[in-house]
Structure 1
């Protein structure tokens, strides 16, 4: 790590080493706001900035192409309005759960969700889902996930077209649940989602996604550590480097990465593993554990500063921007002393403040994940990207309207209902109705026939104008006797 600063351990103030402890680039500017450009726009207008008409046209075109050319079904046809209604129903399934897909169109009072039947008939929805496609099978990229890449690229570009307007950025991994068979599927032990596709993400501290890509395995052409490659790839869209600070965990951090980020003008901070500190001579973990809680040690080579702090466990953080001062005070439980204010280095406080944006995004994605499933291996990625567009537009709406009190759920409901009602609601055209519970049908209590609009008798299927007010079935007088008798 070069010639290291041998500063005194655990001093709350610095003397002649103070300047060496501070590895700041200098002045740090704040990103400009993009709120003024989109001020006053409604929620659906904000959503269309991310999931644009271009994306909907692309999905419609590829779905028709797949049905006509690849499946030789010339009768199938879908337009943009049908596609928008299809998307709306997918989003509704994320916050309105029933046991099976068919139950969304059930007419039973305990399962009925009227907006599904009023938006699209069940067979129409299933046919769109059967032929739904994202990419042209005759023009795929050289990738394990080529069938989903066109949508991923368009959505990623839309997330970046407003610039990067947050100060704190975090880079981490995210998981898309999937338990089928695919060469890009990953297994990560001790994670909330253990099986699925791994996605690298760069998000703001509040969960707005700026950059993301799906991990398809090791790239043998690159010799750097995987964490190093991911950080450099995720930071490519960042133009005004002096407006941002980047945070990542110990999977990514290394002394070599910090040096290269410094040379490229990026401010960064992250937890670091012991074997990646560039042989920085910090106090060992065993030595620091023997000291009182809140003790710390640090060393600097004028480019990177490493600090080790004794908290619940020993924490090591490296940064090319933050230092250990100004020292913070945090409350912790200390054995035999109760709650007590202990020292906390400034760089650790900032790491806790800036890191975690990807986890915030993951939490919002998992709360209302679309539940309608398919056997296609890429379906989970597709529904994840649709879900991600809602999260991005919600966070952008909050940035444009900082005084808004709307919740994530209500924002999502507004978008889903708007998509589902893009056309006049359809009327249900007959079909079987839900059965009457036997305990009600045969109880011989209050089964009166009342005049009603003409319909088919539930028993003999002939026209009648009578209906049982309790069972809600159209019946003739004679048929009613047989219907209510065991």
Structure 2
């Protein structure tokens, strides 16, 4: 039986008691189950503390035992440590009772905001028809959501490394990179693009940056590697790389100056090569300095540009090295990832 059909049967049964009943019964059932989970967690916590006999918590909810058939569905949620919640709650002298299912619903709402982003999170629970989200409002109460948001932490903040500005999410980073590596083969690409990525953030933090003119102007700047489909990946070794470099990074490489290259015709190429790396300067609209350990200048290809012939603006063809072509082909991969991160 499908979920909607089940709700229709419940509503039909409910109308035997209240003929004016509507699908608002979903909210009532959700609230009843939430109260049951909280009482069940209090019982479980008292048992974990070593309490015995008379010291075990006795539920005060009058219908608790009527819903005991749900107990098997409330399995432990091992991915989230309740210790991290409790530490932050104790700091503020706050009693926090969070059920397993509530954490799951909280994470589900966060995933939903990845593509449905309100200006303010509270708008999901407003009664206005243009902002109210029935899926969110019927799944979790607003106050419970913000209570979890206030006290949820991905680590024990009492044992943070003072030298790591991202210590609060370092363990999360490690798990993400492990999962990305494990599923990289499914991404179906042998080429990755490495560049800076901005993670949106508008609060106050010492590592927050502002980059004017970018799709994401405020946030944390991280280094990322992604495939052409936007799949994020970070590999530690055996990587071939091609990229644009600053001229002052090649002090020991005897390439002509950019000022001298500008006087030469478009398409002019100068290069130097060692046993592992090739560095080159290419004159296009401006002078481009590129280095690679996997792509060379050959073969030279023709690319279309806008130039002047007999003082008239027209299309021209310019020589372009293979390393530039490969760089331009795969550099859009981080752009795809950025579009996914942009709210």
**TM bracket, shorter-chain basis:** 0.5 to 0.7
Map 1:36-435; keep pairs closer than 5 Å: 57-59=78-80, 61-62=82-83, 64-66=85-87, 69-74=90-95, 76-142=96-162, 143-162=164-183, 166-188=189-211, 191-211=214-234, 235-236=235-236, 238=237, 241=238, 266-335=239-308, 336=312, 338-366=314-342, 369=343
CA contact (8 A) 2:84 2:156 kept: no
Question: Do the aligned residues in 1 keep the contact of 2:270 with 2:280 (CA within 8 Å)?
Answer: yes
Asked if 1 retains the 8 angstrom alpha-carbon contact of 2:199 and 2:341, the reply is no
The Cα of 1:191 is off from its aligned counterpart by 4.3
The DSSP-based 3-state class of the residue aligned with 1:138 is helix
Displaced runs of 4+ in structure 1, greater than 6 A? Answer: none
Contact 1:104/1:112, CA 8 A, preserved across alignment:
yes
Structure 1 residues 304 and 156, CA, compared in 2 at 3 Å: closer, same or farther? closer
**Aligned equivalents of 2:223, 2:133: Cα separation in 1:** 36
CA distance in 1, matches of 2:113, 2:193: 30
Secondary structure in 2 aligned to 1:133? coil
- The question of whether the paired residues in 2 share the 8 Å contact of 1:62 and 1:135 is answered with no
Shift of 1:104: 1.2
Instruction: Tell me what 2:27 maps to.
Output: none
Q: Which runs of 5+ in 2 are unaligned?
A: 1-75
2-side partners of 1:156 and 1:78: how far apart?
Answer: 28
Determine the C-alpha separation between the residues in 1 that align with 2:117 and 2:89.
Answer: 33
> Larger % of helix: which?
2
Superposition RMSD on alpha carbons, in Å? 2.7
Instruction: Give the Å deviation of 1:302.
Output: 4.1
Q: Which has the higher contact order (CA 8 A, sep 6+)?
A: 1
Q: Quick one: distance in 1 between partners of 2:243 and 2:280?
A: 11
For this pair of structures, how many residues does the alignment match? 262
TM-score of the superposition, structure 2-length normalised? 0.67
1:65 counterpart SS class: helix
User: CA–CA distance in 1 between the matches of 2:332 and 2:299?
Assistant: 23
